Amino acid sequence: MRHTGDVIDAFAGLAGTKRARGRRELRATGGQLQAARRPGDSFQVRRALDSRPRFRVDTGSMSECCCPPPEATSRIACPSCGTRGPVVEATTVKALLVPYALARLNHDTFYFCASPTCDVVYFSGTGMTFSKANLRVPVWQKTTPGARIVCYCFGENEADIQREIEDTGRTAAIERVRAHIADRRCACDVRNPRGACCLGDLTAAVKALAAPRTSELEEHRSCE
């Protein structure tokens, strides 16, 4: 029978041999990588692909809008007025149709008609349409100006914005909505019939409502 000390020495020798072999293999691999690298080339070691789950860090959107930009898809013409409309996600259509309209929804791709004179809101390439009466909310683009809801998430509307401009000389509607977007409170994808961020519509509305006030101020300055 071998002594305990001899067994320990044997294991230590084997471990040392493995460490030395590992260092030689590492040096050899490094040499191969260095040899494969040409002057001026950038080098990046890639991990082998596997099927393990990966975690993504949400860094937030790079734009001010609360919804990601729509995919570049072709627009098609509304069968009622001929206006070419963008694709609307099925989630938006389902969320905004009244029950009896939702009951006849099929699995077509739907598009949004923004024409203010057309009664159709959603239409498909197969001819199915949904009108203003089929929606739970009024459509900003198809409603008479004056008191229209512009921001469907937080209720910013033309009447309140106009009153704020008259009382204070300006409106903070855009700043309020931007703050909500920064805090990720928006739900435009299921509240706005267009299925997109309302900030662009709100900015346009504020500009139009502030235009008369701006003209008055400029006229007043010119008379001084």
DSSP string of 138-171, one letter each residue: --GGGS-TTS-B--TTT--BHHHHHHHHHHHSS-
Contact 158, 167 (CB under 8 A): no
84 φ/ψ angles, rounded to the nearest 5 degrees? -85, 130
Domain span(s) for CATH 2.20.25.270 in the chain:
72-136
Q: What is the pLDDT along the chain (224 residues), one digit of tens a residue?
A: 444 455 445 444 544 555 555 555 545 444 443 444 444 444 343 333 333 332 222 223 435 655 555 555 689 999 999 999 999 999 999 999 999 999 999 999 999 999 999 999 999 999 999 999 999 999 999 999 999 999 999 999 999 999 999 999 999 999 999 999 999 999 999 999 999 998 999 999 999 999 876 655 555 455 55
Fold of 72-136: N-terminal domain of TfIIb (2.20.25)
Is 188 within 8 Å of 199 (Cβ atoms)?
Answer: no
Q: Is the pTM of this model over 0.85?
A: no
Residue pointed to by tokens 């989630």: 91
Cβ(66)–Cβ(186) below 8 Å: yes
* Under 8 Å between Cβ of 160 and 170: no
Q: Are 86 and 70 in contact (CB under 8 A)?
A: yes
| DSSP at 37 | P
